[in-house]
Each structure stands twice: as C-alpha cells, then as structure tokens.
Amino acid sequence: MLLKQAGSGLVEVLVSLLVIAIGILGMAGVHSQTLQYNQSSYLQSQATFLASDMLDRIEANQALAKSTSNYQVGLTEQQFSQCQQSDYPASCEVGSCEPQALAVYDIQQWKFQLACQLPGSYGSIAFTDSGDTRIYTIRLSFPSMGDRVPVGDVVLRGTL
C-alpha cells in the first residue's frame, strides 16, 4: 500500500526557514549589543587618555601645581558647548608662557578636547594636600546614554 505525502516537503522547508530566521534575528541582537559595548569601550579609553593627558600637563607645570590652586576646575566650569575650530584655545602655542597662563591654557585645551572627543561629557580637577604631597583627582563624567551601555565616571589620581 502506497501513501502519498503531498506537501510534506514544503512543511519541512517552512519549518527550517523559521529556524534559520530565529537564528538570524538572535545573531542580529547579539551584534547590536556588541556594537554598544564597543562604543562604551571606545568612550572609556578616550576618557582615560584625556585624564592622563591632563595629569601629564599638571606634572609638567609642577612648581605651580604644587603651590597654587590654578589647576582646579569644576565639572561645569569653562565648558565648550561644541567643538568648533574658532573656539580652539591657542594662547600658549606661540612663544613661551608664564606658569599661571600655562595652567589656564592647559585647562582650556583639556575642556576643548572633552567637547571634541567626548561630546556631552564633563571634567573636573580637584586636589587635596597630605603633608608635602598634593594629590590631584581628575574626574570625567558622562551623561545618561539612554538604553546604551553606560560608561560611568572615569577617575584618575596622581601625586606631586
């Protein structure tokens, strides 16, 4: 006795297409998450680089940084709203600068780089004295990133 199985091949093909489609949708979701984590890692490394750069600038002007509060700035002070070439601080690029002017220039350069490389972020520099050592704390804060992976704050400390 011979039974006809008309259409069974079509059902198998449709079921296999459904399984493949679910797999592709799952991979697309994983890819989306990977891109978000990649962006978060990029922002984290940029923030670490900028914080290290500012600490290097402070160490280069160590005599002034140890004796005054010229290298202290709040999160929202001296902010650049956008990264425009016309706002680029270039006061100490030609010739020599006095240490006080160099401190102002360093902070302006740093805040400008924050606006260009990490839009929407804020940076602060504070210090505490402990005996003859001064401990600088550089903090970068990021705004809410919606449903993306949050970066959080980056904090770097250095002693002079």
Strand, helix or coil for residue 1:
coil
Where do the structural domains in the chain lie, given as residue ranges? Answer: 10-159
Burial 32-42 (b: 16+ CB within 10 A, else e): eeeeeeeebee
Q: What is the pTM of this model?
A: 0.75
Output the pLDDT for position 121: 86
SS3 content of the chain, % helix, strand, coil (to 5): 50, 15, 35
Task: Give the integer Cα–Cα distance in Å for 47 and 98.
Answer: 28
Task: Give 45-74 pLDDT, tens digit per residue.
Answer: 888 999 999 999 999 999 999 999 899 998
Distances (CA, A) of 127 to 19, 58, 96: 59, 11, 26
Q: Kindly give the parts of the chain with pLDDT less than 70.
A: 1-8, 144-151
